[in-house]
Chains A and B, each alone.
Chain A
Amino acid sequence: MNLTDHEKAMYDGEHGRAKARAMDLLVRYGEALGAERLVETNNVAGAFNASTPSVQAIAEKGMEHVYSELNLDSDEVVEVPHMVAHTCQLITGIDNDNWELQGVDKALVDMQRANEKYLGRRGVNMFATCTPYQVGNVPVKGEHCAWMESSAVIYCNSVLGARTNVEGKESTGAAALTGRIPYWGFHITENRRGTHLVELDIEVDDMMDWGLLGYYIGEVIGEEIPVLKGIGRQPDLIKLKHFGAAAASSGGVEMYHIPGVTPEADSIEEAFGGRKLKGTFRYGARERRETYEKLQSSTEKKVDFIMLGCPHNSIDQMALIAHMLENRKIHSDVQLWVHTPRAIKQVAERNGYIDVIREAGGVVMSDTCPAISRRLPAGTKVIATDSAKQAHYLPAITGVQGWFGSVSDCVDAALTGQWNGRV
């Protein structure tokens, strides 16, 4: 791989052992990919947290051991200097406030807090959310990023027009210390063009519709780049956040174009940019219904856990849920957890939304989600969620049965204890 003079100097240890180990990992990774060089990045979103039992044995030796082994793949234990790139922490396994409700051992909570203290002052900003683009990290078009989290990557590439591959724990750890990531995949303009056309025969409008469309596209397209034709109504952050998360769950979609909406294509022609069309799919009422059925993994109408907020809710989603729960109480057999980034939770608190949700019997969670933490309320057998991503992962990971539907269907289930959702 071709390295610049500065990169060679880092590799050779002239800027300290941590950067040398980071460069070693980036060179091994770049050569594995077949990349010819690295690209500068000043925007890293990674998983630096120490919140699981498997990390405990390493964390006991010191947080520099955790970073060296798990974020740099280095046998040599290095002192961790301040991050070079703007860097943030994505979602973690523990809600710093609601850990008892999650059933987390206090020792793990202390470990996560100690790790945050260690990394926070070194420049890892503790957003603790899967949606950094909601709380201050909004890359601009063309910006080279090194992000993890499939739902954030697809948003970054498609909606913002910034450039990232799906990075991992080790590559983001190395990128944060060096400001470099392999120049490969979605960093390169030609690789960002559309491959498949998806023609819509029906109007796609509300959030559930967008989730269904995303889940369908991921299933049929896998890891290719869809171009959507026939979107009549302007989508917003909430809908595209849900759409992308769904497409990245059922398939491996990391980029899409909606001509006239997403920034890299004003027309179908521009979206394909001369690339040969690999195939066309039509999405109509039948595909919508079939996708809805696929997302249901439950036969039991009695529900005991409602999960809202995956990807983490925007302030407007928090407002809507509070409005639906105003002066009402959820069913005594049901637990309701609503997930939002900690920064948005502050706003929601100030607006009074948190009080409304709490008075109705719900809990507002931050920093985590049930799929990442693998923690549900004790005894949960049947869940309902407004997230196609959680409906996809939670039954597989935790063995529960799951219902998927609109946010109003889910709130209705919270109030009645029964699933009455309909497509």
Chain B
Amino acid sequence: MDIATEAKPEIIELKGRKVVAGRAEGEALVTTETISGWGGINERTGTVIERRHEMRGVSFAGKILVFPGAKGSSGWSAYFHMTRLNGVQPAAMIFTRMTTKIALGAVVTRVPAITELDQDPLSVIETGDWIVVDADAGTVTVTKKSLK
């Protein structure tokens, strides 16, 4: 292994497009699977409930949720809306696939959200990394957990 690959950058910065304005920081929760709103989450606990989902039983409350985006019912926004009213919404959303469900859902969850990043967030970011999302600046700053 040469020095170049060994000396990983401590901090990685990704550039993207603002979906919902604001700045948030927190621990990343990463899934490569899309998430259902209606029928896929418990809006009182912020927990994924979908059978066969890799995040089943895990709560995204207060986390920087990094995922491909939304799937399933048109009740997506209404269910994420309820997580905000119940205080169990994620701290921010970073996603890769734009749909009306995720756009409206991010808006009504009222958390900073960002997409169209210049690197794939699903491979750069791991669960547990420390993330700063500055949606207005269009940046995601990743501090790898191993170096924290």
Contact = CB atoms under 8 A, between A and B. Distances in A.
Interface of A: 25, 28-29, 32-34, 47, 54, 69-70, 73, 148-150, 153, 165-171, 182, 184-185, 223, 252, 371, 393, 396-397
Contact of B17 (A34, A54, A70, A171): A34
Contact of A168 (B78, B82, B98): B78
Top 3 nearest A-B pairs (CB, nearest first) are A168-B77, A148-B74, A32-B103
Interface stretch (B6-14, B23-31, B104-112, B136-144): B104-112
Interface in B96-134: 98-101, 103-108, 110, 113
17 contacts: A29-B103, A29-B107, A32-B106, A54-B43, A54-B44, A54-B82, A73-B107, A149-B74, A150-B72, A168-B74, A168-B100, A169-B75, A170-B77, A171-B100, A184-B100, A396-B39, A396-B50
Contacts of A150: 72-74
A28 B81 contact: no
Nearest to A223: B99
A28 B100 contact: no
A70 B39 CA distance: 18
Interface of B: 17, 19-20, 39, 43-44, 50-51, 71-78, 81-82, 85, 98-101, 103-108, 110, 113
B71 A165 contact: no
A223 B39 CA distance: 18
B102 to A, nearest CB: 8
A180 B50 CA distance: 34
B75 A32 contact: no
Contacts of B50: 396
Nearest to B50: A396
Contacts of B85: 69
B108 A170 contact: yes
Contacts of A148: 74-75
B113 A32 contact: yes
A21 to B, nearest CB: 13
A148 B82 CA distance: 18
Given A32-B19, A54-B43, A73-B108, A47 B100 contact: no
A168 B103 CA distance: 10
Nearest to A55: B82
Nearest to A28: B107
Contacts, number: 83
A354 B11 CA distance: 67
A185 B104 contact: no
Contacts of B106: 32
A47 B72 CA distance: 16
Nearest to B76: A168
A167 B39 contact: no
Given A32-B19, A73-B108, A252 B72 contact: yes
A50 B108 CA distance: 18
B107 A32 contact: yes
A169 B100 contact: no
Given A32-B113, A70-B81, A148-B75, 15 more contacts: A29-B103, A47-B75, A47-B78, A69-B85, A150-B73, A166-B101, A168-B76, A168-B104, A169-B78, A169-B81, A170-B107, A185-B100, A252-B99, A396-B50, A396-B51
A393 B49 CA distance: 13
Contacts of B75: 47, 148, 168-169
Given A29-B104, A34-B17, A184-B100, A153 B74 contact: yes
B39 A168 contact: no
A47 B78 CA distance: 10
A70 B78 contact: yes
Contacts of A33: 98, 100, 103
Nearest to A249: B72
A153 B100 CA distance: 13
B74 A397 contact: no
